């Protein structure tokens, strides 16, 4: 199938590329970059070979003990089910876009909560691996393959207070297309503050800019190209390194 990343990706950058659909768990991912909902990607006009889980992996069910979710299921559906079944632990996924596979690969989270907190096991095709056996850290997980399915242990009681807290955080984020945080926060610091201190808050190259609202969001103000975004990223890394001696590590994946 063909995917137009200018439409599909959350940052609305990229051209059209051929993407192989993964229809069963015997798929051999070697040589492919597996994408999810492309909410954390910056895709060039010439990406590597790409693959994506087919719709067969877009499901979720709660069996009274575990929430079992297919790798292609979107975060919004997970939160909706938790809300309607009064289950707690996944409230932070509200407004955090992505598919289950991408959420686990990035160990996505907000305000001290992350997807691995409730993960029990993930199925990589060759079998299930317990969450405790998967190395992970801040916005990173060392996965042994493609996430086809995963199970979560949740609490009774969806927390609407937490939901309101997370909504408040989201309301302070830019509204233009982005891929979320551009850089990871360095130890004991904030990437956004460093970008701002380097004089780049609101700075634009072509259609891409570091948001005036939150400097660590690289936003598409309209018609941004891959080259615009990459030039901004390089500029920020150079300036922050030369002015503060800190190397910013990308959170978004550049393909
Ligand atoms: C407005 C906005 C707000 C955001 N806020 C947050 C936030 O608060 N916290 C946060 O952590 N992130 C945030 N993000 C980033 C993004 O939502 C997360 O990184 C999310 O986990 C990406 O999921 P995805 O399905 O889009 O993955 P993609 O962007 O498609 O891919 C990301 C990574 O996941 C891997 N991957 C995808 N599917 C699979 C699979 N099935 N098996 C194995 N690996 C796979 C890819 O290879 C890639 O390495 C935000 C993004 C936006 C646009």
CB-ligand 1 contact for 38 (6 Å cutoff): yes
CB-ligand 1 contact for 78 (6 Å cutoff): no
Boundary-marking domain end, from 164, 198, 220: 164
What's the pLDDT score for residue 166? 92
Confidence of residue 200 (pLDDT cuts 50, 70, 90): very high
Task: Say if residue 21 is in the same domain as residue 112.
Answer: no
Catalytic residues: 139, 181, 251
What's the pLDDT score for residue 188? 86
Ligand 1 centroid, distance to 103 Cα (angstroms)? 5
134, HSE (Cβ side, Cα atoms, 13 Å)? 27
Of 107, 62, 89, 252, nearest to 166 by C-alpha is 89
Is 71 within the bounds of a domain?
A: yes
CATH code for the domain of 46: 3.30.43
CB-ligand 1 contact for 219 (6 Å cutoff): no
Ligand 1, atom 21: closest residue by C-alpha: 103
Is 200 within the bounds of a domain?
A: yes
Is 40 within the bounds of a domain?
A: yes
Q: Which domain holds residue 160?
A: 57-164
Give phi and psi for 230, each to the nearest 5.
Answer: -65, -40
Is 102 within the bounds of a domain?
A: yes
Task: Say if residue 87 is in the same domain as residue 149.
Answer: yes
CB-ligand 1 contact for 76 (6 Å cutoff): no
What would the pLDDT profile of 75-103 be if each residue is shown by its tens digit?
999 999 999 999 999 999 999 999 999 99
CB-ligand 1 contact for 179 (6 Å cutoff): yes
What would the pLDDT profile of 216-236 be if each residue is shown by its tens digit?
999 999 999 999 999 999 999
E strands of 71-214, at which residues? 87-88, 109-110, 113-114, 119-123, 128-130, 136-137, 140-141, 149-153, 155-156, 178-181, 204-205, 208-210
What's the pLDDT score for residue 5? 98
Mean pLDDT of 191-209: 97
Boundary-marking domain end, from 164, 185, 218: 164
Q: What percent of the chain has pLDDT over 70?
A: 100
- At residue 114, the 3 state secondary structure works out as strand
156, HSE (Cβ side, Cα atoms, 13 Å)? 1
Say how far apart CA 212 and CA 194 lie, in whole Å.
Answer: 14
Task: Say if residue 61 is in the same domain as residue 155.
Answer: yes
Say how far apart CA 143 and CA 66 lie, in whole Å.
Answer: 21
Of 23, 46, 22, 26, nearest to 34 by C-alpha is 22
The more confident residue out of 112 and 60 is 60
CATH code for the domain of 242: 3.90.78.10
Ligand 1, atom 43: closest residue by C-alpha: 146
Tally of domains within the chain: 3
Mean pLDDT of 49-56: 98
Res 118 pLDDT > 90: yes
In the predicted model, what is the mean pLDDT of the chain? 96
Instruction: Give Cβ neighbours of residue 247 (< 8 Å, ≥ 6 apart).
Output: 186, 237, 240, 241
Res 154 pLDDT > 90: yes
147-179 exposure pattern, b = at least 16 Cβ within 10 A, e = fewer: bbbbbbebeeebeeebbeebeeeeeebbebbbb
To test the ligand 1 pocket, which listed residue (30, 37, 40, 99) has its Cβ within 8 A of the most ligand atoms? Answer: 40
Say how far apart CA 92 and CA 245 lie, in whole Å.
Answer: 33
Boundary-marking domain end, from 56, 74, 101: 56
Task: Say if residue 45 is in the same domain as residue 119.
Answer: no
Is 169 within the bounds of a domain?
A: no
Say how far apart CA 120 and CA 83 lie, in whole Å.
Answer: 20
Task: Say if residue 143 is in the same domain as residue 71.
Answer: yes
CATH code for the domain of 87: 3.30.465.10
CB 230 within 8 A of CB 46: no
* pTM beyond 0.75, yes or no: yes
- At residue 128, the 3 state secondary structure works out as strand
Mean pLDDT of 115-122: 97
Task: Say if residue 78 is in the same domain as residue 130.
Answer: yes
Going from the C-alpha of 133 to that of each of 70, 87, 141, 150, 156, the distances in angstroms are: 20, 25, 11, 14, 26
178 Cα nearest atom in ligand 1: 53
Ligand 1, atom 33: closest residue by C-alpha: 102
């Amino acid at each position: 199938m063909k995917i137009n990343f200018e439409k599909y990706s959350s940052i609305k950058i990229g051209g059209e590329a051929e993407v192989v659909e993964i229809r069963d768990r015997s798929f051999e991912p070697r040589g492919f970059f597996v994408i999810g909902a492309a909410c954390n990607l910056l895709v060039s006009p010439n990406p590597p070979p790409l693959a994506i889980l087919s719709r067969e992996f877009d499901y979720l069910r709660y069996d009274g003990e575990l929430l079992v979710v297919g790798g292609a299921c979107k975060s919004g559906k997970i939160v909706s089910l938790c809300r309607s079944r009064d289950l707690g632990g996944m409230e932070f996924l509200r407004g955090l876009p992505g598919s289950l596979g991408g959420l686990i690969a990035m160990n996505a989270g907000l305000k001290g909560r992350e997807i691995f907190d409730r993960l029990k096991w993930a199925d990589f095709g060759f079998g299930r691996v317990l969450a405790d056996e998967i190395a992970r850290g801040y916005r990173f997980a060392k996965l042994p393959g493609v996430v086809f399915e995963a199970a979560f242990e949740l609490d009774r009681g969806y927390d609407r207070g937490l939901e309101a807290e997370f909504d408040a955080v989201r309301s302070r984020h830019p509204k233009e297309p982005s891929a979320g945080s551009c850089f990871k926060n360095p130890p004991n610091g904030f990437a956004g503050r460093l970008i701002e201190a380097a004089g780049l808050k609101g700075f634009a190259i072509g259609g891409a800019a570091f948001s005036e609202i939150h400097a660590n969001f690289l936003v598409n103000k309209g018609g941004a190209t891959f080259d615009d975004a990459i030039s901004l990223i390089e500029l920020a890394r150079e300036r922050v390194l030369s002015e503060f001696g800190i190397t910013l590590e990308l959170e978004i994946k550049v393909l």
